[in-house]
Amino acid sequence: MSSGTSSFDSSWLALRESADAAARASELLGPLRDALAPDEPLVIWDLGCGTGALGRWLSGRLRGPQHWILHDHDPELLDLARKNAYVTADGRPATIETRGGGLESLRASDLVGASLVTASALLDVLTAAEVEAIAAAAGCPALLTLSVVGRVRLSPPDPLDAEIAAAFDAHQRRDGLLGPDAVAAATEAFGRRGASVRTRPSPWRLGPGQAALTAEWLRGWVAAAVEQSPGLGPAADGYLRRRLDECAAGSLIVEVHHLDMLVLPGSSA
Ligand SMILES: C[S@@+](CC[C@H](N)C(=O)[O-])C[C@H]1O[C@@H](n2cnc3c(N)ncnc32)[C@H](O)[C@@H]1O
């Protein structure tokens, strides 16, 4: 899951899909549509596609014809992704292909012919070198969504919130991963190449209607914090029990703040 561990199982991705859809910054779609060539078929790359949730949301919001290239380093997720049946805003079926491999080896030659590069819940699990590789390769608009920013708010508050959040953020930055620094790093990497970058908030707001997602997020959030700061152990166990009880009672609200980025290359800015 993106709350701190390095592999992403399909059940976690399914659990978060509707919260992601509700959070997405739809106001970036108008400027994105304006930046896409009006009459050409769209070739859309989804980097770190998982099971293809972003395409399930975006394909019907853009005109057709569309060809999607779903890219991920996890072959099991790609097997699920290739079963998607996307339909465009004008009711045409999109075509789909999948590509395996890591983003560290992405080259500009891979993205030749791309109309749009997309990603969702990806940048914060990458290194600066991987974000540089995306910025160097993408010569077209890019919609890079749902990057965590290191701001989480739980209501009611608990004295341990800040300590868990700080340990979680440190865990996200482990081994050179960007974690909450991802949007700043990507803005810098694209900006250096003359692109314009707009960011808009895309927070999860999780209440009683999202109890299953909230509980799973809490377990992952606290586990990552404890992995980072083992000294939190017993206090964190009690914290998690309290928070799960509040979640089950419908009295917990969680906000997880993200940013969506629309990147337009120099000439279309
Ligand atoms: C949090 S999941 C998001 C999946 C999907 N975009 C979604 O929103 O449901 C991150 C995805 O990025 C993939 N990923 C992470 N690092 C990668 C890398 N270096 N190269 C290729 N794929 C990567 C993971 O396998 C996973 O599918």
Mean pLDDT of 221-234: 97
**pLDDT above 70 (res 201):** yes
pLDDT given at position 267: 57
Q: What is the pLDDT of residues 41-89, one digit of tens each?
A: 999 999 999 999 999 999 999 999 999 999 999 999 999 999 999 999 9
Mean pLDDT of 203-229: 98
| Beta-bridge partners for 70 | 46, 98
Q: How far away, in angstroms, is 210 Cα from ligand 1 center?
A: 23
Angle made by CA atoms 195, 196, 197, in degrees to the nearest 5 = 115
Q: What is the dihedral of CA 204, 210, 213, 214, to 10 degrees?
A: 70
Cα distances (angstroms) measured from residue 81 to each of 29, 60, 191: 23, 17, 31
Best of 9, 45, 72 to mutate for ligand 1, by most ligand atoms within 8 A of CB? 72
Mean pLDDT of 181-209: 98
Domains and CATH numbers, the chain: 10-268 (3.40.50.150)
CA 13 to ligand 1: nearest atom = 9
**pLDDT above 70 (res 269):** no
pLDDT band at 266 (very low <50, low <70, confident <90, very high): confident
Q: What is the pLDDT of residues 145-170, one digit of tens each?
A: 999 999 999 999 999 999 999 999 99
Best of 1, 44, 56, 73 to mutate for ligand 1, by most ligand atoms within 8 A of CB? 73
% of the chain surpassing 70 pLDDT: 96
